Structure 1
Amino acid sequence: MHTITSFRAGLLPWFTEHQRPLPWRKDYQPYQIWIAEIMGQQTQMERVVVYFQSWIQQFPDIRALAAASEQEIFKAWEGLGYYSRARNLRKTAELLVRDHHGELPNEEAALLALPGIGPYTAAAILSIAFNQPVPLLDANVERVLCRVEDIDSPPKQSVTRKQLLQLCAELLPPNEPRNFNQALMELGALICTPKNPTCAACPVRECCRAFAAGTVNQRPVLVKKPDKINIIMACGIIEQDGRFYIQQRREEDVWGGLWEFPGGRLKEGETPEQAAAREIAEETEFRVIHLRPFTTVVHHYTKHRVTLHSFFCNLQNEQSTEPVLHAASQFRWVNQKELDSFAFPSGHRQLIKNMATYIFDA
């Protein structure tokens, strides 16, 4: 690579001219940087901006977030997935109000002691919010540096990661850490992209060993991702006198605290219809009749690909509408409009969106 000075001299002016006008870049408030970083985990930037703006309008500061209910936070987070992140935001806000006068600390140890803040997020807050000379290494930066140094080993390997962190630290200018770290990430997002990078427009092309060697498309070295685990599920949308039954998942469950239509995984040899009726009985002791196929949706989380079959159904005649809960913390009977007030996992939210047309046409 050329000198560190020339790398900085190419990158920083490029960032000044081409950086995206992200809303948290207006004044770099620590609270906003924290929220943006948590939202940005495994989420495309376009979606982050939309959710961020809505979030800040509803929870403008740490004290407002600490005062919000878990359901308000889940509803605002709905669609971003990984709801433990939202729960940790609330826990951290409460701790910040209690122990830090409603402000984020500017020391690594204090940040790492907060729920949901790991080494990367702490470094991002210190660097971007507080302009401290702390190196940042995310997927975009990994890709840029693997190409700049033409590294022929996977970036997640411990030896490679140590090399990348050292390189980050060497490149980081002590007087402009905020802009430099953002510039590296922005370069990876806009120019040095995973596929078809725009090398002709790269401000540090002359420093890039992979460009000189013709190996840009082979860097970084990728490790094959494991295949998705397919899960087949079925649920019942129980309708009774114009209202629908929903239940809240227990805190310790996957998607704990969110609401759902009762259901679960198919057992061997079961049809989706049979599974829906069985799961409803096991979870609520309701006996349902008139199961009518509604729609099937597919959604993804972590390593799983979930296919969810759904059925409209009704309670058997003269049956109590009071369930015996075996898999939920509480329940509600709500009308169609009220469904929008509750936070649901992605698959169930897709069902609700489809219900509007179905009910309207019925």
Structure 2
Amino acid sequence: MGSITGSGVAAQLLAHYDGTARTLPWRAPPGANATDPYRVWLSEIMLQQTTVAAVIPYFQAFTTRWPTVDDLAGAEDGDVMAAWAGLGYYARARNLIACARVVSRDLGGIFPDTEEGLRALPGVGAYTAAAIAAIAFGRRAVVVDANVERVVSRLFAIATPLPAARPEIRAATDRITPDARSGDFAQAMMDLGSSLCSARNPICLPCPLRPDCSAAATGDAASFPVKAAKAAKPLRNGSAWWIERAGSLWLVRRPGKGMLGGMRALPGSDWSVERERELPFAGEWRWAGAPVRHVFSHFALDLHVARVVVAGDPPEFLGDEGQWWPINRLAEAGLPTLFARAVEVVEGE
């Protein structure tokens, strides 16, 4: 570790990046800072815990529909949540709306250009603030995402298991982050971690950092970063109800806070560890043969789906807290993945 110099690592990596940088819709060419902080911010929020391949079509759709932060700030909450459907981690979408409105209303549509100012915005944590400051504004900032974490833990052969190793990894990243081209350096580290320095099968021979990499010298780079054993996720159960009437389906809006908050969904029960399958009112219900298994960050869910067709007046149970949505237009409802799969289960029978 003592032989590694920050200037040497940065020079090697930036030279590699100049010839291999990925072309992405939110990224400026090597050597040129991004000119639109809105696009950098939007991409960084979308990229949290989500792959580049999954984000690209959503980013393009958002920036076409809402090309500026002021446009996004003026959008209806339901429209933004529907456009986000399928991207997951829906608290990000709620924070996206809140942040856009703060920037538009309180800051004149101009994003802060410092980490401190950016961190004051809704949904912008330490990593995201550093990434925006470096990539959009050319500030020197220490940017550590999962890819950077992997590269740095290998470069310095950090043996402390994650997550306890994170302060050590950040300090090592700070050591090699250059004053100039900090944004390019951060993106070069991300590119390296998503390509040559991949999680399972790192390709060390052509890596520009191989001469300095302590993990490569051991011949077992894939053993870094060291990870603590994961606890098994608990399994919860719940019911979802397909209530059909005259070619339309009853959809509700989930509460603004909590899992899938603010999204359209099938009505249903709470999700608990052990629960008998529930029905909301009497009728000729039919249960789907197998539940929909969905894994959230902290638990797995088996969602049991039941279908009923009602005639005449809708059941009093429904109240006024939902809407009838044409079944032949369900693709436009913006259902999150869990409920989109529940729809597939019913339609596939």
Q: TM-score, normalised by structure 2?
A: 0.90
| C-alpha displacement of 1:55 | 1.3
Pairing 1:1-362 to 2, within 5 Å after superposition: 1-26=3-28, 27-157=34-164, 160-264=165-269, 265=271, 270=276, 275-277=277-279, 280-281=280-281, 287-293=282-288, 296-315=291-310, 320-323=314-317, 325=319, 330-354=321-345
Partner Cα distance (2:19, 2:48) in 1: 26
Contact 2:155 2:213 survives alignment (8 Å): yes
**Separation (CA, whole Å) in 2 of partners of 1:250 and 1:163:** 39
Does the residue aligned with 1:25 lie in a helix, a strand or coil? coil
Q: Name the amino acid aligned to 1:339.
A: L
Contact 1:146-1:155 within 8 A present in 2 as well: no
> How much does 1:319 deviate?
5.4
Q: Which amino acid aligns with 1:239?
A: E
Relative to its length, the structure with more helix (as a share) is 1
Aligned CA distance change for structure 1 residues 269 and 120 (closer, same or farther; 3 Å): closer
Structure 2 vs 1, CA of residues 74 and 94 (structure 1 numbering), >3 Å: closer, same or farther? same
Alpha-carbon distance between aligned partners in 1 of 2:254 and 2:60, rounded to the nearest angstrom: 28
Partner SS state of residue 24, structure 1 = coil
Q: CA deviation at 1:344?
A: 2.4
User: Do 1:71 and 1:342's aligned partners in 2 also have CA atoms closer than 8 Å?
Assistant: no
Indicate if the aligned counterparts of 2:253 and 2:263 stay in contact, CA closer than 8 A.
Answer: yes
1:149·1:210 contact (CA, 8 Å) conserved in 2? Answer: yes
Structure 1 residues 294, 337: closer, same or farther in 2, change over 3 A? farther
In 2, Cα distance between the equivalents of 1:344 and 1:259?
A: 6
Cα distance, 1:145 vs structure 2: 1.1
3-state secondary structure, aligned to 1:129: helix
Q: Matched residue of 2:15: which SS?
A: helix
Q: Tell me how far 1:357 sits from its aligned partner.
A: 5.3
Would you say the 8 A contact 2:242–2:249 is kept in 1? yes
1:324 CA drift (Å): 5.0
Deviation, 1:54, is: 1.3
1:21 maps to a residue whose letter is T
The SS at the match of 1:173 is coil
Structure 2 partner of 1:284:
none
What is the distance in 1 between the residues matched to 2:113 and 2:7?
28
The percentage of counterpart residues that share the same residue type is 32
Work out whether residues 288 and 345 of structure 2, in 8 Å CA contact, stay in contact via their aligned partners in 1.
no
Deviations 1:243-264 (CA, angstroms, capped at 9, x unpaired): 2112222223422222222222
In 2: Cα distance, 1:15 partner to 1:238 partner: 54
Cα distance in 2, alignment partners of residues 268 and 184 from structure 1 = 44
**In the alignment, is the contact (CA less than 8 A) between 1:112 and 1:118 conserved in 2?**
yes
Give the Cα–Cα distance (whole angstroms) in 2 for the partners of residues 340 and 288 of structure 1. 27
Deviates more, 1:199-208 or 1:227-236: 227-236
Unaligned runs of 5+ residues in structure 1 are 282-286
Contact 1:243 1:335 in 2 (8 A): yes
Q: Deviations over 1:251-292 (max 9, x none)?
A: 23422222222222478573xxxx241xx24xxxxx332425
Instruction: Tell me, in whole angstroms, the C-alpha distance in 2 between the residues paired with 1:320 and 1:238.
Output: 10
| Distance (Å, rounded) in 1 between the aligned partners of 2:225 and 2:19 | 27
Q: State whether residues 178 and 185 of structure 2, in contact with CA within 8 Å, keep that contact through their aligned partners in structure 1.
A: yes
Q: Note the C-alpha offset of 1:147.
A: 1.0
Partner amino acid, structure 1, of 2:102: L
Following superposition, the deviation at residue 117 of structure 1 comes to: 0.6
Post-superposition CA distance 1:287-333 (Å, at most 9, x none): 33242536632221112222222122134x765444355xxx82112
Deviation at 1:224, TM superposition (A): 1.4
Structure with the higher strand share, 1 or 2: 1
TM-score by length of 1: 0.87
Tell me, in whole angstroms, the C-alpha distance in 2 between the residues paired with 1:269 and 1:70: 33
Gaps of 5+ in 2: 29-33
